[in-house]
Structure 1
Amino acid sequence: MLTVNAHGAAIPALGFGVFRMSDAEVETVVPAALEAGFRHFDTAQIYRNEAALGRALQAAGARRDELFLTTKVWVDRYSPDRFAASVDESLDKLKVDRVDLLLLHWPADQVAIADQIEMLSAVQAAGKTRFIGVSNQNITQLRLSVTRSAAPIVTNQIEVHPYLDQRAMAEAAKAAGVAITAYYAMADGAVPRDPELQRIGAKYGKNAAQIALRWLVQQGFVALSKTARPERVAENIAIFDFTLDDGDMAAIAGLARPDGRLVSPAGLAPAWDK
């Protein structure tokens, strides 16, 4: 599979996310994801399904050296007495000695970014993750993280879909050598129903969801796909056999609107325009 490279990390450009999935759903769909060719799996402590993902990968006989595993530390563990211990718990649940990528899940505002980064870097230095990154940071926070981190920040995982203009963040990340990982690519179900994306899809023999994922990957982003239905998994990964032309790329970007952001929880989200 195509990879996105940042500071030595070769991140598979299409990942399989398990946000809002029950243990049963994870253990049902992960074997299908492996069969379809997915090797990049994304979870988080707050999803409460790290253990299910670990069981599913082990039961399917997945080779650890072929996997790229990402998890995220939740905000209530941003303290010296909880951070490293929570990572140990995640590793135990995932049944691995280390993950490939460990992220700070949200910046919040109870703990200084510099202190968060210090704890994250310490865990990386201890060998519990190959690479480190952040999630849901704005441009100012990302620049601070890059400056303060002892190890390279390889990605900022953020909301990206056709209705949200993330060009400013993408440019800032590129300047810092940081990859963008895009979540919420389906815009909470709006993408598959979008007439313009369906129109473009018909041109390539693809559906609207495949068009949106291709649009993300073609910009050089890592895209996280998701489905709880095993029969849909192969469809999600079938985005590498066509290329969107410049006109279609621009048309999709043109769907962005001022109120396009969907994920901005109170108490966790930063001031996005900083």
Structure 2
Amino acid sequence: MQHIVNAQGLNMPKLGLGTWPMLGDECTRAVEQALELGYRHIDTAAAYNNEDAVGQALANTPTPREQIHLTTKVWWDQLQPDAMRHSMERSLKALRSDYVDLFMIHWPTTDWDLPRTLDTLAWFKEQGLTRNIGVANFPLPLLRKVVEEYGIGLSAIQVEYHVLLGQNALLDYARQHNMALTAYTPLARNKVSHIAEIQQIAAKHGVLPTQVALKWLLDQSNVAAIPKASSASNQSANLAALEVNLDDQDRALIASLSKRERQVSPDFAPVWDAFDQ
């Protein structure tokens, strides 16, 4: 699959497999199946409680580990240095790997010593426990602080991003600083299948609405997407989205959609920036 985001040493396939909320055997089967179909980017996290299932799939697959981009994350209540180190140790053990390709802070928190948290994150990379480091769910002011005030070389940020939620300011910043932006919930919890404009574009091209929504993301520079899919048919359909050809008329129609419909905002979420229009 020759669709790659290159950013600060990161070589990450643009289309990955999101594994939340799959658990146990279902997760293992889904990851093995995805690798068999040609996926080379798997996204997990300590908080998903499925790293062991992903690790089992990595042990089972004939695909060499070095050909697989693997992302995992540390939860927001484990951001003191010792807790972060223990989280990394547990993750690597569960994943049956000596390293991950991208290690991220999953959510920011307010009760932390941010410089020490960032120093620990950078230390993981120095020690070879992760090839690249990043953050998830950081609003732009906090991301700027990490990059500009503390000088941390992040390779990626992961945020909710789809046809119903704008991330223009974050994406512009990511591009300026040679970072990837990974879009989670890229199908807006399948709301994209029920949007008349997306259905119209899909009918025009003879494809699925989900494929239109994914290709809109994947066509953007520096952007990757990690839809969750457990069935072979859905995994294959998402892969096939890479071959869809959207035109300027399609993109203009998508641009006309509301960009304010955030799907994920738990009670511990940061204060989000003003929505992009």
For residues 43 and 222 of structure 1, do their structure 2 counterparts lie closer, same or farther at Cα, with a shift above 3 Å needed? same
What residue number does 2:64 align with?
Answer: 63
Structure 1 distance, partners of 2:31, 2:50, is 12
What residue number does 2:101 align with?
Answer: 100
Is the contact between residue 157 and residue 180 of structure 1 (CA under 8 Å) also seen in structure 2?
A: yes
What residue number does 1:198 align with?
Answer: 199
For residues 23 and 78 of structure 1, do their structure 2 counterparts lie closer, same or farther at Cα, with a shift above 3 Å needed? same
Is the contact between residue 121 and residue 149 of structure 1 (CA under 8 Å) also seen in structure 2?
A: no
Residues 189-243 of structure 1: CA deviation (Å, up to 9, x unaligned): 2012222111101222210111111000101211112112223211110122232
Give the one of 251, 254, 267 matched to 2:253: 251
Structure 2 distance, partners of 1:257, 1:131, is 30
For residues 30 and 161 of structure 1, do their structure 2 counterparts lie closer, same or farther at Cα, with a shift above 3 Å needed? same
For residues 34-113 of structure 1, the aligned pairs below 5 Å read 34-113=35-114
Q: Root-mean-square deviation (CA), in Å?
A: 1.6
Structure 2 distance, partners of 1:23, 1:62, is 20
Q: Percent identity?
A: 37
Q: Give unpaired runs (5+ residues) of structure 2.
A: none
Residues 64-120 of structure 1: CA deviation (Å, up to 9, x unaligned): 111000000111111122111110110010010000000000012111433321111
What residue number does 1:171 align with?
Answer: 172
Is the contact between residue 118 and residue 152 of structure 2 (CA under 8 Å) also seen in structure 1?
A: no
Is the contact between residue 81 and residue 116 of structure 2 (CA under 8 Å) also seen in structure 1?
A: no
Structure 2 distance, partners of 1:24, 1:198, is 34
Cα displacement (A) at 1:148: 5.0
Cα displacement (A) at 1:150: 5.8
For residues 112-123 of structure 1, the aligned pairs below 5 Å read 112-123=113-124
Cα displacement (A) at 1:149: 5.3
Is the contact between residue 146 and residue 152 of structure 2 (CA under 8 Å) also seen in structure 1?
A: no
Partner SS for 2:131: strand
Matched to 2:121, the amino acid is L
Partner SS for 2:132: strand
Is the contact between residue 15 and residue 42 of structure 1 (CA under 8 Å) also seen in structure 2?
A: yes
Structure 1 distance, partners of 2:271, 2:128, is 30
Matched to 1:127, the amino acid is G
Partner SS for 1:163: coil
Structure 1 distance, partners of 2:81, 2:120, is 7
Structure 2 distance, partners of 1:148, 1:8, is 22
Q: Give unpaired runs (5+ residues) of structure 1.
A: none
What residue number does 2:229 align with?
Answer: 227
For residues 237 and 75 of structure 1, do their structure 2 counterparts lie closer, same or farther at Cα, with a shift above 3 Å needed? same
Partner SS for 1:4: strand
Structure 2 distance, partners of 1:104, 1:115, is 13
Cα displacement (A) at 1:268: 2.9
Partner SS for 1:71: strand
For residues 165 and 271 of structure 1, do their structure 2 counterparts lie closer, same or farther at Cα, with a shift above 3 Å needed? closer
Matched to 1:255, the amino acid is L
Matched to 2:236, the amino acid is A
What residue number does 1:241 align with?
Answer: 243
Is the contact between residue 70 and residue 102 of structure 1 (CA under 8 Å) also seen in structure 2?
A: yes
Partner SS for 1:99: coil
Q: Which deviates more, 175-184 or 146-155? A: 146-155
Is the contact between residue 68 and residue 100 of structure 1 (CA under 8 Å) also seen in structure 2?
A: yes
For residues 50 and 33 of structure 1, do their structure 2 counterparts lie closer, same or farther at Cα, with a shift above 3 Å needed? same
Structure 2 distance, partners of 1:56, 1:21, is 13
Total equivalences in the alignment: 273
Partner SS for 1:153: coil
Cα displacement (A) at 1:19: 0.8
Is the contact between residue 28 and residue 230 of structure 1 (CA under 8 Å) also seen in structure 2?
A: no
Structure 2 distance, partners of 1:131, 1:267, is 26
Cα displacement (A) at 1:48: 0.3
